[in-house]
Amino acid sequence: LDVARLRDSFALVAKFGDEVPLYFYSRLFLNYPDTRELFPVTMAEQRQHLVEALQKIIALAEDPAGLTEYAGKLGVTHRRFGTRPGQYEAVGQCLLATLEHFAGDAWTPELAADWTAAYTLVSGIMNGAALEDEAENPAWYDGLVVAQEWRSFDVSVVHVTVQPRMVWTPGQSVPVEVPGRPRLWRWYSIACAPPCEALEFHVRVVDGGLVSLPFARLQPGARLRMGAPAGEMALRSADHDIVMVAGSTGLAPLKALLMQVAELDPAPDVEFFYGGRSQEGLYDLPWLELAADSHKFLTVTAVPGPASLTDTVMKEAHWRDRDIYMAGPAELVKSARERMTAAGVEPDRIRAEDFGWGEPE
Ligand SMILES: Cc1cc2nc3c(=O)[nH]c(=O)nc-3n(C[C@H](O)[C@H](O)[C@H](O)COP(=O)(O)OP(=O)(O)OC[C@H]3O[C@@H](n4cnc5c(N)ncnc54)[C@H](O)[C@@H]3O)c2cc1C
Ligand code: HEM
């Protein structure tokens, strides 16, 4: 494999921007109509995935361990999309035709051979990992809503029982697909520690969002699907004292971690900072205050807007010598992380989950 040649040809093709995935998917859906039903109705955000994946694969071409890990995870992820092994050939053909189309005169038999070899390698790893995972885990989990409650005008707490049994660690999230939004998967953190009878989700309705509103409104009896739990938001050490910072529904993964910490003996000290747009936005404060009343290791500071949660944490928390866990709006996570690392906190002591949506800090 001539990696430099692959990289150069991809750079040439990538110059055509969004035209590349548009061409690829049009070709795929026209020639292999059975693949269309696997994708959501609107393809705008999906187009990005193809180019990003190719970029990543080229970046990892000279790092076999990194490539095996990335492609392996991707193969397992594809199980919940319903991808069948036979469809890899269809995707490979369309991908090569797309590259040839945009590379123009630069396309040579050698380049075609390189791309074929690269695709065969990656799809082989993906299929192998998917097959291995099949022996241990379901392609997805079926969820049944057993309770739903609005806690504020835009935050709903939804309880969901799961089939078959799911194994997860506190702090992890699952991709969720709700009725009426087929093939649109969004990540939600599990807000309880195993073994909770029903998974608890805290769903914030995001303005203009496609999935959060229908998810928040699900009533008991509704069914949904979940993918495999994942995420790095796990307890780093049982011995280090902790600062937790939750913005809005960023409380969810931290609540699961708090439940885990409460089981430790002795439990490390936890300073919990909980922020929201207003007092009403602190939708689970009573639970936190009750926990603080019954556990000496926990202190809770509520920071209703417009006070800045980051400013309060920087001023009042003992973040310099503790492990830090935070979750919620992108701006919160970004600004708190930047200010702490600029002040000398080792990046490894910070565990953070950026929920993506924005809320000015
Ligand atoms: C690991 C993980 C765990 C998560 N856990 C939870 C959880 O427990 N609870 C929860 O409520 N949410 C959680 N989220 C967020 C959740 O996955 C969805 O992104 C969210 O619910 C919005 O989905 P949607 O389909 O409604 O919005 P989409 O249709 O995806 O659109 C989102 C809207 O927000 C805008 N937007 C997107 N990103 C930004 C940004 N960075 N700044 C400003 N605006 C932006 C878009 O333009 C669009 O208008 C988590 C996200 C991740 C990655
Ligand atoms: C080497 C081959 C492939 C690569 C590198 C690849 C890459 C990707 C990536 C990066 C994603 C986004 C994953 C996520 O959201 O977490 C994705 C999603 C998806 N892929 Fe693939 N894929 C490959 C093969 C296939 C095949 C053969 C099919 C079957 C037709 C397929 C169908 C899908 C579907 C349905 C989705 C979900 C919708 C989306 O997010 O685009 N993929 N793929």
How many Cα atoms are found within 13 Å in the side-chain-facing hemisphere of 74? Answer: 18
Q: Specify the pLDDT at position 37.
A: 95
Q: Specify the pLDDT at position 361.
A: 59
Q: Specify the pLDDT at position 272.
A: 98
How many Cα atoms are found within 13 Å in the side-chain-facing hemisphere of 33? Answer: 0
CA of 75 to the centre of ligand 2 (A): 8
CA of 83 to the centre of ligand 2 (A): 8
Which of 169, 174, 357, 361 should be mutated for ligand 1, with most atoms under 8 A from CB?
357
At how many degrees (to 10) do helices 309-316 and 330-342 cross? Answer: 30
Give the residue whose CA is nearest to atom 36 of ligand 2: 81
Q: Report the atom number in ligand 1 closest to the C-alpha of 211.
A: 25
**Ligand 1 pocket: which residues have CB below 6 Å?**
173, 186-189, 202-204, 206, 208-212, 231, 249, 252, 330, 353, 355-358
CA of 133 to the centre of ligand 2 (A): 17
Give the residue whose CA is nearest to atom 39 of ligand 2: 46
At how many degrees (to 10) do helices 3-14 and 109-134 cross? Answer: 90
Q: Report the atom number in ligand 1 closest to the C-alpha of 201.
A: 8
- Give exposure, 40-52, as e/b (b: 16+ Cβ within 10 Å): eeebeeebeebbe
Q: Specify the pLDDT at position 349.
A: 96
CA of 31 to the centre of ligand 1 (A): 34
Backbone angles phi, psi at 227, to 5 degrees: -90, -175
CA of 77 to the centre of ligand 2 (A): 8
Predicted structure pTM score: 0.95
Give the residue whose CA is nearest to atom 3 of ligand 2: 123
> Could you list the mean pLDDT of each consecutive 10-residue stretch along the chain, which spans 361 residues?
92 95 96 96 85 92 95 96 94 97 96 96 97 96 98 97 97 98 97 96 95 98 97 94 98 98 97 95 97 97 93 97 96 96 96 87 59
Task: Count CB atoms within 10 A of the CB of residue 145.
Answer: 20
At how many degrees (to 10) do helices 44-59 and 3-14 cross? Answer: 160
Q: What is the rounded CA–CA span in Å between residue 56 and residue 67?
A: 9
Which of 148, 173, 188, 277 should be mutated for ligand 1, with most atoms under 8 A from CB?
188
Q: What is the rounded CA–CA span in Å between residue 354 and residue 29?
A: 34
